[in-house]
Amino acid sequence: MINEYKKLKKELNVELKNILSYWVDNTIDKEFGGFLGKRDHYNKVVEKASKGVILNTRILWSFSAATNHLKTDTYKDVCDRSFKYLKDFFNDKINKGVYWEVDYLGNPINKRKQVYAQSFTIYALSEYYLFSKNEEAKTWAIELFNQLEKYAKDTKNEGYFEAFNEDWSPIEDMRLSDKDMNASKTMNTHLHVLEAYTSLLKIYDNNELKASLKMLVKVFLEKFLNTKNHYELFFDDHWNLLSNTVSYGHDIEAAWLVIDAAKLIDDPELLHQSEEVAVKVADTFLLEAIDKEGAVINEKNLTTNHIDTDRHWWPQVEALIGLKYANDLKSDEKYISSSLKIWDFTKNNLIDYKNGEWFFRVDDKGIVYEDEDKVSMWKAPYHTSRACIILNK
């Protein structure tokens, strides 16, 4: 089994270069600048598609992280291109922060300040700075951190509010997407604030930042985590639970991201607690989230017991990371065995060997959803490239 796991790592190393090649060859917008906003399932360009900040920050993070990992300048131009486009078109020079969406020409069409988006920009800029040493990127990341601390942080009840208008005033509809609840505090956004602050702390040794990151770790352990080893998803201002759904991908992703954050805080007890929780979450994940083919299913509604058995691309790779962390903490071949099955399923069902990249999702019979895009606001190289990198560190 150890040899099979080594083979998995080698295959992920090859897959990283395949993923990067796809994005270099298929997403650079040579006509209007930056990157294309959308390619459909068949890899056909969707003309004049708008461009989302999540896609663009995830491109910057992925290529910056790959550059740092591979120790190469091969992707420097892509990184610089991505940084410049974000700076020129998504940066709100009047109110600060980043816009949610621009049109294909770069004109803002949705100026709302989603905290999720500010976080991903911090995450991307921090990773970009690590190799470029571009002080402008670092300064911008710190500025965004200060904006979140000023406007989004709940100094009374802890945590961060979900979204704001262009000028950082309160907004009625705070939803990240049409699929989400209109809740003022969400696990998903907090997860990526935590992720962003963890990366920023590596380049910006600041006491306020460290204190906020410590608060976020505690929020995950004390607010989001329930007694059944799942992370609750939607809350109101006062941390009253609004949702009844388990998201298996977010469970296993949070398990390892909280550990990474706790390691930087220099609090041994908090780190120990985070590691204990991660193992419990991983064990519960193995019991509930893996189907008969070894793949990761999507969600479960705890009220109706309805299970969404679709297999999305990103929970598969987040599982590879989360199970690696669990195995590092508590060596058990069940983590390796499950990882091998997940990777076999992914290779056979989710990687598009004809048109490149990965399919968005398949159903429980392995049938691909052809109405899902290959490149879009939510379909980026971040989850996949990150897994390839972390499992080969």
Spatial distance between the Cα atoms of 383 and 317, rounded to a whole number of angstroms:
7
pLDDT of 1 reads 84
- Give the residue extent of every domain in the chain: 2-390
Residue 299, SS3 per DSSP: strand
- Beta-bridged to residue 13, according to DSSP, are none
C-alpha of 283 from chain center: 22
pLDDT digits (tens, 9 = 90+) for 204-253: 999 999 999 999 999 999 999 999 999 999 999 999 999 999 999 999 99
E strand segments, the chain? 51-52, 101-102, 108-110, 113-114, 163-164, 185-186, 234-235, 245-247, 299-301, 307-308, 311-312, 361-362
The tens digit of pLDDT for each residue in 335-345 reads 999 999 999 99
Domain 2-390 maps to which CATH number in 1.20.950.20, 1.50.10.10, 2.60.40.10, 3.20.20.190? 1.50.10.10
How many CA atoms lie less than 13 Å away from 67 in the CB half-sphere?
A: 21
Q: Which pLDDT belongs to residue 181?
A: 86
Q: Collapse the DSSP code of 232 into the 3-class scheme (helix H, G, I; strand E, B; otherwise coil) and give the result.
A: coil
Instruction: Name the pTM for this structure.
Output: 0.98
